[in-house]
Each structure stands twice: as C-alpha cells, then as structure tokens.
Structure 1
Amino acid sequence: MGDNARSIVSLIAILVVALLVAGLGFAFYRNAKSTADSAQNELSNFNTTLTESKYTDYEGRTILGNEVLSFLNANANTEIAIQVITASGSNKIYNYASIDMAGDPTDSQTNNTAIAATKKKGDATYINPNGKFECTLNRDANSTITGIIFTQQ
C-alpha cells in the first residue's frame, strides 16, 4: 500500500507540475499576443504616417507658386484631390470633381490639359510662380487625407 500511495502522490505531483507549465504557457502566449498586436498597430500607424508624409509636409506652410506647380505635376492623376485658389478668383480642383473625392476621378487627358493651363499667363487658372500659397489638408471622417488646398495669399 505504501507503493500505491507513493505512486498516487507522484502522479498528483506530476499533474500539478504539468498544470503549472500549461498555465505559464498560456500566460506567456497572452502576453506575447498582446505585444505582437501592439507592435502591429504601431507599424500600421508608422506606415500611414510615412505614406501621408508627402502631403503633411505641406500642411500649414506657405509656399511659392512654383512649388504648387511642381506638386501638381508630381501628383497629376493620383489618389488625392488638389484644389488651387488663386488671388484672381480661380478655384480649380484637379484629379477629382471635388476636394472630398466625390465621384469618379477626372479623365487623365482632361486633367493634364488643365494642369498645363496653369502655366499660361492670361489663363483663368494661371499660377504665378512667385505667388505665395497657404496649404491646408482636407480629411474625411476616417482622418484619411482626401485633398490638399493651396490658397494664394
């Protein structure tokens, strides 16, 4: 009977150790999953920041018209609406019909023709290369950048 009692005690001890090891394993898994989820969120935020940086670099700045022209040429037919408001009263939106990107994108040929007109003196949409433009960003309800607005000062 002493051997049976010893066997039962050994079996109980092994079972307790196994349960402790399993419990520690689950606790480690929970902590590791939480850390991995947190790292994934941080990486996603960093990726969004990096992707938007080519637009957020302009936010709140005053730039010259030649920079506006460069921005228009570099971002022609992209996934962002570009609104240029000149001192002469022109209010033109490129790439989309509205700054909120409502509707379909503007036809690329039409858009490129409109951008080319910004360099022609006398055209209603002419952008003075020496003019000063204040930049603001337009965001939707999800904080996604939908457009950039250049307003001549």
Structure 2
Amino acid sequence: MSKPVVLVMILAAALLITIAAINIGINSYVPAADAAKTSQTEFSTLATEVKEQKYMAYDNQIVSGSIVTNALRKYQKDAEGQQIALYVETGKNGKGSGTWYFSTFDKTSVTPSGTNDLSLTSKTTDPNYINPSGLFDTVIERDKNNVVRALRFVQR
C-alpha cells in the first residue's frame, strides 16, 4: 500500500476511536448526573428530617405543663428566628384564645409577633399561666411544603 492510503486509514481509525471514546463518556455522564441529582434530593430530604426530629417528640403526645414551659424556653431562639411558632392554650385563657410566643403561624408562614414574656406563664393569676402538672395535647403544624412550622399545646 502506498503511504497516503496508510495515513488515511490511521486517521480514520483514530477518528473512530475518538468518536467511540466521546460516546462512552456521554453515555456514562448522563446516568451519573441523574444519580447525583437523586442523591442530592435524598440528602436534602434526610437533612430536613434530621432538622425536624427535635420537634417530632411532641407530635400528637400528651405532655405536662412543665414540659410545655421547657419547650417554650428550649425553642425560644428558633421561634425568635421565625423557624417555628409556639402556641399555648391554657384552661384559663379559653378555647381558641391561646397565646403565640415569639412568632405566629397562619398556615402559610411564620411571622414575628406574639408575646415575648415568659414570666406570665408562672403567674397563677394570669390567663397565660401554665400549670406544671396540667396535661396538654400537642400538635405539630406544617406548611404547604410539609415543613414543621408550629407547635401547639392545648390544655385538656
């Protein structure tokens, strides 16, 4: 064979090998990208679950008033940062007229308002008094994105 024909064949072979390598790379990248997206979604879900786990101990539980008071203190910074709202309805302040502490929740968002005075929860003459031995039903409220936004404590 002549030298130009051999060079053309070598060039064609190199071109085919290059095209095959690019094809293998593309076919490997697409599933890897999909797997990375799936992993990222699963990681985000897991991170949200871990973040919300501290509130899940109260989900549909019956707790004492002392636990309610401790929860108000424990989650005060979260409530002040509008990550969660805390609601307490005592036997003294009446059905449906409880008190939001640090933030409020209106089924869509947490907003900064409500009372910041926890001292009222220990004054027996105040409607916001939380009896340490009283029993409270607890409910976790979520927003439309299924994120925990409020803890409600309602005295039995």
Task: Report how far residue 70 of structure 1 moved.
Answer: 0.2
Task: Report how far residue 150 of structure 1 moved.
Answer: 0.7
Rounded to whole Å, the distance in 2 between the matches of 1:35 and 1:135 is 39
* AA of the residue aligned to 1:87: G
Task: Report how far residue 118 of structure 1 moved.
Answer: 0.6
**Number of equivalent positions:** 149
Give the TM-score normalised by the residue count of structure 1: 0.84
Aligned to 2:99: 92
SS at match of 1:128: coil
CA gap 1:18/1:30 in 2 versus in 1, 3 angstroms: same
Identity of aligned residues (%): 29
Structure 2: 5+ residue stretches without partners: none
Rounded to whole Å, the distance in 2 between the matches of 1:119 and 1:48 is 34
Give the TM-score normalised by the residue count of structure 2: 0.83
Aligned to 2:34: 34
Task: Report how far residue 99 of structure 1 moved.
Answer: 4.7
Rounded to whole Å, the distance in 1 between the matches of 2:137 and 2:91 is 12
Rounded to whole Å, the distance in 1 between the matches of 2:110 and 2:69 is 24
Aligned to 1:82: 86
CA gap 1:122/1:22 in 2 versus in 1, 3 angstroms: same
Structure 1: 5+ residue stretches without partners: none
